[in-house]
Structure 1
Amino acid sequence: MDQLTSYIAQPTLTEWLIYGGLLFFFLVQLLFYLVIYRRPYRYEKHRAEILVADDQLPGISVIITSKNEAEELKKNLPYILEQDYPNYEVIVVNNGSTDETDTVLKAAQQVYPHLYHTYVPPGADTVNEKKLALTLGVKAANHDILLFTEAYCKPCSTRWIHEYGKEFTKGRELVLGYSRLSLSPDVPMRRFIRFDNLIHHLGFLSMAIDGKAYTAIGRNMAYKKALFFEQKGFSPILHIDGGEFDLFINRVAQGKNTGVVLSRASMTETNVVDRFSTWRSLKSVYVYTKQFYRGSTARLFGWETLSMYAFYLLFLAVGIVSLVTGNLIALITCCLLFLCLSAIQLIVINKNSQLLDGKRYHLNLLLFDLSRPISNGLLRIYANRRNKR
């Protein structure tokens, strides 16, 4: 007992502050994983399946923009056009393509009468051509619900639209989904890329479940047409390069009745990332527009990053101080905190990954967790330089 008392009484004020900081940031990290990152898994596991008659399902317009993606359209359009849904149309906007896109669309229209295609006129604004193409698609839509994906994506099932239709029968104005990345073994850093995609989705889907949607991925999301016109389309963000999906949702989602679909049938998938540079181009678009997000929700994840680095730095500091001072209790305690947090991270991430992505993480989770904010910072520098050209 005397020896135990000496260990507890030994630390200086500075050491106590370090120990207290370690415990504080441990608790912050714990809250992020047990509350925020765990939420999508819990939501889907406790979701009650509902049956909706076909005549009660709303009409849906699927909108896709395409620029020089003839091969992707040829490969993926059949998955979208052959959905098991009673009332939908598919609108493809040819965004100034110079390849065989027009030929592919005309051939598909002969087989699928619910396919409609239009085009962006030559000489359109090159800075906002994606926004213009989407605006044309929205205006051409015959239904009040707009479901968005990309030409390089395909639904994971024939019930993709059906899952969104059921969610909108609950009175939703906005519904967000998950988009998987299918990566071949020869793609560099493929495990990190898949992890980054998973964590990004877990963050914004968790906040959407909590009624605080702040961003989205254009590969799998839907909203009511009225939201588009209430916001005057993309007018508030025309001066920003990109942001057609994530920034738009950031502006309109506050106070809206937002739903989330996480079943495997509701997901989309893409294998467009065939090299690291492709992922860098796709990812940098969202990293660039993130700096224009409004609201405190987006900044919440900045605090998560800060608390993560603070915890690991203080863990090292406590370990070094404990070894130097011979405080075994502090050393054992900080090691237990580290092991406890690592175990919780592995459990939460792997449960979500099993539900959404199908991959498992092990010791590489720590490396990926530490590397992701650095990667985002480098991508933001890359995106800012690219957009200044």
Structure 2
Amino acid sequence: MLQLPIISELLLVLYVATVLVNCCYYLYFLKFGYTKGVFVKNHPIQNEGVSIIVCARNEAHNIDSLLQSLVNQHYPLFEIILVNDHSTDATLALMRRYAGFHNCIKVIDLKSETGKKAGITQAIAKASFEKLLFTDADCIPNSPYWITLMTENLNDTKTFVLGYSGYRSYKNSWLNKLIRFETLLTAMQYFSYATHDNAYMGVGRNLSYFKKTFNTGNGFEKHLHLKAGDDDLFVNQNATATNVATCFIPESFTYSEPKKTWKEWFIQKRRHTDVAKEYKMKHQIQLGLFYVSQFLFFILFFALLILKQFFTLVCVLALLRIILVWFVTSKTAIKLKENRLIPVIPILEPFLISLQMLIFISNTLVKPHRWN
């Protein structure tokens, strides 16, 4: 039977290795923090048409604001394709009302098929233009230059542009802070991976690619069995080291309405976690190792404190790691206009990691069946 000193030494070795691995990841993320994106107000506008695609189900309370923003975009040639996915509220009526006032709006009312993937597939088939730009019904572009910024880098080489979509901020809500922090951390990762020519996902609330890219990649055929994955899985399966561009200029952001209850957010995160297992194996390993190193850091830290072994070394390593995490995440928070999260990063990080582990265990034990 192993004696306490030997156990402590083994835990220390594992702890040191975990800290090193976790710090290497954050140093990897740091490159994005120093990548510059500048908005030029007198931006040269391209003349290539853009098809904006929005799928909606029971979004009557949101779609009016979105459409007002879209029709006022400063771009010479675009169309808006709205897909109604069996809404039971006034969503379809609002879509048709706007289409009656604006010739650039087309409405697709799904009949036999259902789901976002079916809606996007039909919309792309009817798109008049090669450049496609996606957002959700509860999103609002951050400026009238959104179309320009999110599509200007689509070319013969870059067939994807990954954008940022944040959530609206509400005071005195720790759930809201957690949602925004988790979104910030996810964006830090997918932007950083793309910056290193290793893109693994994008978010459908702010994403653009070519119609040809969708067709040559066989659309969503590889993951039709999943309700989710119309954005991250499609990017993951079709991104290469050279065909992905990023856009993180604040005027290109979109903002969405966050979940209002812990239950709603928990269900949403269960869906996203379940989809990640369909990523390319190299990305599953890279992302998995990062989350494991985060979780192990806190577990081993408290274990060694409880054992009262190597106190000074354990605390120094923890402090160095926490400072690095705070610094790198803060750089991203400033870039993505989430400055108000900076003071609470050390609190939100362990809380989020604990909840992510709970979600992982929940998905492992009970297969989720409903996502609404």
**What is the TM-score when the length of structure 2 is the normalising length?**
0.88
- Cα distance, 1:317 vs structure 2: 4.4
CA distance in 2, matches of 1:195, 1:136: 34
Provide the rounded CA distance (Å) in 1 between the counterparts of 2:7 and 2:267: 46
Asked if the contact 2:164/2:253 (under 8 Å) is kept, the reply is yes
- 1:332 aligns with 312
Matched, 1:370 2:347: no
| Aligned equivalent of 2:68, options 34, 59, 78 | 78
Deviations 1:39-91 (A, max 9, x none): 3322236x69798632x453211100111212211122111221111222111
Q: How many residues of Structure 1 are paired with residues of Structure 2 in the alignment?
A: 365
**Structure 2: distance between partners of 1:18 and 1:257:** 43
Separation in 1, partners of 2:62, 2:83? 14
Structure 1 residue 293: Cα displacement: 1.8
Equivalent in the alignment of 1:109? 99
Partner Cα distance (2:149, 2:278) in 1: 31
Aligned counterpart in structure 2 of residue 350 of structure 1, from 327, 330, 346? 330
The 3 A distance-change label for structure 1 pair 154 and 14 is same
Aligned pair partner of 2:343 in 348, 352, 361: 361
Provide closer, same or farther for how the CA distance between residues 256 and 50 of structure 1 changes in structure 2, counting only shifts above 3 A: farther
Superposed CA RMSD in Å reads 2.7
Residue 292 of structure 2 aligns to a residue whose secondary structure is helix
Shift of 1:207: 1.1
* 2:18 paired residue number: 25
Corresponding residue of 2:152 = 166
* 1:289 aligned onto 2:275: yes
Distance 2:199 2:325 in 1: 23
Distance 1:158 1:170, change over 3 A: farther
Distance 1:348 1:274 in 2: 28
Shift of 1:170: 7.7
User: Within 5 A, what are the aligned runs for 1:18-167?
Assistant: 18-36=11-29, 38-44=30-36, 53-54=44-45, 56-121=46-111, 124-126=112-114, 129-167=115-153
Question: Residues 170, 40 of structure 1: CA spacing in aligned structure 2 closer, same or farther, 3 A cutoff?
Answer: farther
Q: Which of 1 and 2 has greater Rg?
A: 1
Paired letter, 2:16: L
Please state how far the C-alpha of 1:272 moved relative to its aligned partner: 4.5
Distance change (3 Å), C-alpha of 1:259 and 1:178 = same
Change beyond 3 A, Cα 1:320–1:100: closer
From the superposition, tell whether residues 58 and 212 of structure 1 become closer, same or farther in structure 2 (CA, over 3 Å): farther
Per-residue CA deviations over 1:104-124 (Å, capped at 9, x if unaligned) read 122212332212212112xx2
Secondary structure, in 3 states, of the residue corresponding to 1:385? Answer: coil
2:219 to 225, 233, 239: 233
Cα distance, 1:212 vs structure 2: 1.6
Partners of 2:208 and 2:100 in 1: how far apart?
A: 27
Worse-superposed segment, 103-112 or 310-319: 310-319
Amino acid in the other structure paired with 1:44:
K
Closer, same or farther: CA 370–346 of 1 in aligned 2, 3 Å: same
In structure 2, relative to structure 1, the CA distance for the partners of 1:280 and 1:44 (3 Å cut) is: farther
Structure 1 CA distance for aligned equivalents of residues 262 and 5 of structure 2? 49
Cα deviation, residue 156, structure 1 = 1.1
3-state SS in 1 of match to 2:36: helix
250-259 vs 84-93, greater mean Cα deviation: 250-259
The letter for the 2-side match of 1:377 is F
Is the Cα–Cα contact under 8 Å of residues 151 and 208 in structure 2 kept in the other structure?
no
CA apart distance, 1:98: 2.6
C-alpha separation between the residues in 2 aligned to 1:305 and 1:20? 19
> Paired residue for 1:214?
200
1:316-361 CA distance string (max 9 Å, x none): 444455x46xxxxx43222111111111111111221122123223
Q: 1:288 and 1:314 mapped to 2: Cα distance?
A: 27
Q: Are 1:188 and 1:276, in contact at CA under 8 Å, matched by a contact in 2?
A: no
- Rate the CA distance shift 1:383–1:85 in 2: closer, same or farther, 3 A: farther
- Checking the alignment, whether the CA contact within 8 Å between 2:164 and 2:187 is kept in structure 1 is yes
Percentage of identical aligned residues: 25
